[in-house]
Amino acid sequence: MNYDDLIILGISFGLGMLNGLQRQSEDDRIAGVRTFTLIAILGTLAGFLTRNLDNPYLVPFFGLAITAFLVMGNVIKLRKLDEAHIGQTTEVAALLMYAIGAYLVLGDRTIGVLMGGGMAILLYVKERLHGLIENLKAKELNAIMTFAGISLVVLPILPNETYGPFDVLNPYNIWLMVVLIVGISVVGYFIYKFVGTKVGIISNGILGGLISSTATTVSYSRKTKETADIGKMAAFIITAASAIALVRVLVEVSVVVPEKLGSLMTPILAEFVIMAGLCIGMFYLINKEQEQDEMPEPSNPAQFKSALVFGLLYALILLAVAFVKEEFGNNALYVVSIISGLTDVDAITLSLSQLMKKGSLEVESGWRLILLASLSNLLFKGIMAAVLGSRELTKWISITFGVSIAAGLLIMWLWPESWHFF
């Protein structure tokens, strides 16, 4: 007895029941738990017959038979019911269930299981998905389409080879980094949409760091001018967003150089822990009446113009880093990190990660340069908060950012080379 075939049959039975259970819970009159289970088993048996008899026509034959039964069921429903609901979800799901049953035998079992489970989840969230789409604003739909355009249309057609001086400008890799940064911001934005505009101040800080800590600094600094007594709360949110920005940096590093993440992440995590400690201290100093606040709605995080500007900035920093390294050595990269960090930490982080990936920059120098860029960005945001915000905000930001910058510089100076995870 082939126990592997029994396992496949059991998986097919389970996936059919799972999807049929969901359809029956929706009071679907075409197919429910029994029908979906039988369709999945029929697909698996068709796969067994195709494999054992070496006949490729059996799977499409039974597929056409199921299609005919589904058409017949719809015709009968239209004749018997005066106000029959016409839809294609169950019909398409039934055909896909048949195909998954066959694919479990003839294809990759893991992919088949993922497809069956994914279909069940998609069917379950159907109503919520419809509600979400109906509530999308024009700028949110634009963000989705822009992100789809830059990732699914532009990225695949770009050449994956290097051009220009220093052999560092790879159009595909540059645009892949654009997709990564825009993707992180889009995820943060839609988490914001999911949790709503009225969220706790901790959530405000986390989402602000995911979307843009700089934009969060500008928004809350301006709010302190309008409302005088929220300076401490705004300082907490800005500091929390800046701390989360360090997590964002680690995500970027893990995508480009995952094999060196263990050596890179420990000192950066230490800086994050210090900033998180400052946030915890501030949180308990904030008046309970100020614990809820409306987060300013962020702008479209996937504007094509912004993506293009980031791509150009990233390319320029790649060139600058390569030029400085070749002409002046690694020590001169500290100046580049400070200047680049003032405007964009993401670009310099990705540029330095690319150098470490190629082996032309040591990990010990790499994390110090990335951390220095983050500290430079903290200084820049602190100046913005002082210029745009109230005196109270300036006082608290001076404390939190001052301690964070001092701690970061000490970490760069004193951190032992042997302290890393793996």
Written in H, E and C, the secondary structure of 330-369 is HHHHHHHHHHHHHHCHHHHHHHHHHHHHHCCCCHHHHHHH
Instruction: Give residue for tokens 């220093």.
Output: 166
- How far CA 96 is from CA of 63, 90, 265, 275, in Å, comes to 10, 10, 43, 50
Strand partners, 199: 293
Judge contact between 213 and 245, C-beta under 8 A.
Answer: yes
* Spatial separation of the C-alpha atoms in residues 263 and 197, rounded to whole Å: 38
Using alpha carbons, list the distances in angstroms from residue 404 to 16, 194, 277. 55, 31, 10
Q: Which residue has the higher pLDDT, 267 or 308?
A: 267
CB count in 10 Å sphere of residue 297: 12
The pLDDT assigned to 373 comes to: 94
Nearest to 355 by CA among 88, 168, 84: 168
CA angle 171, 261, 346 (to 5 degrees): 45
44-79 tens-digit pLDDT: 999 999 888 888 888 989 889 888 887 887 777 667
Residues 320-334, mean pLDDT to the nearest whole number? 84
Mean pLDDT of all residues in 183-202: 68
For 403, the token pair is 């301690």
Q: Distance of alpha carbon 217 from its chain centroid, rounded? A: 22
